[in-house]
């Protein structure tokens, strides 16, 4: 159980950093979106890269925690009937996976284009929305 606690504290600690990075990404995305030129700045590219990296690290730590818990013999029927367990074991991991994939796509698009387009901006906003939905606010700040 000690290994799981280490992973849990790491996952929770990285969550604070991820919140800061997502907030910085959102601010820079909105500044670029409403800016006159619409050019993607180096700062936005760097924040996007670090946000993507932290999403991947968080996902790897989280999926390791999930696998160690599922191998303990959880009954998935009971998990799906309980809203808290369903959020923890189904909604949170899959929403964060999709958000990480979207951040990876956005990072790739930022490398190949100089202007912010509506599809890229939409992907960013959907990724942020999924992150905000799936973030366990009560566990991190409670």
pLDDT at 1 > cutoff 80: no
Q: What is the mean pLDDT of residues 27-51?
A: 91
Q: What is the pTM of this model?
A: 0.89
Q: What is the mean pLDDT of residues 124-131?
A: 94
| pLDDT tens-place string over residues 44-73 | 999 999 999 999 999 999 999 888 877 677
Q: What DSSP letter does each residue of the chain carry, written as one string?
A: -HHHHHHHHHHHHHHHHHHHHHHHHHHHHHHHHHSSS-BPPHHHHHHHHHHHHHHHHHHHHHHHHHHHHHTTT--HHHHHHSHHHHIIIIIHHHHHHHHHHHHHHHHHHHHH-SB--HHHHHHHHHHHHHHHHHS-HHHHH-
Which pLDDT score, from 0 to 100, does residue 85 have? 85
Q: What is the mean pLDDT of residues 113-131?
A: 93
| pLDDT tens-place string over residues 75-120 | 778 888 988 888 988 899 999 999 999 999 999 999 999 999 999 9
26 pLDDT band (50/70/90 cuts)? very high
């Amino acid at each position: 159980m000690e290994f799981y606690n280490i992973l849990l504290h790491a996952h929770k600690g990285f969550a604070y950093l991820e919140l800061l990075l997502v907030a910085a990404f959102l601010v820079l995305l909105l500044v670029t979106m409403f800016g006159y030129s619409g050019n993607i700045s180096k700062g936005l590219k760097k924040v996007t890269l670090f946000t993507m990296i932290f999403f991947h690290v968080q996902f790897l730590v989280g999926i390791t925690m999930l696998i160690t818990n599922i191998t303990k013999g959880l009954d998935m029927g009971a998990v799906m009937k309980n809203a808290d367990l369903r959020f923890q074991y189904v909604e949170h991991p899959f929403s964060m996976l999709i958000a990480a994939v979207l951040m990876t796509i956005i990072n790739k698009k930022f490398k190949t284009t100089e202007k912010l387009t509506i599809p890229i901006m939409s992907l960013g906003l959907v990724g942020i929305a999924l992150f905000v939905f799936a973030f366990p606010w009560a566990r991190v700040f409670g």
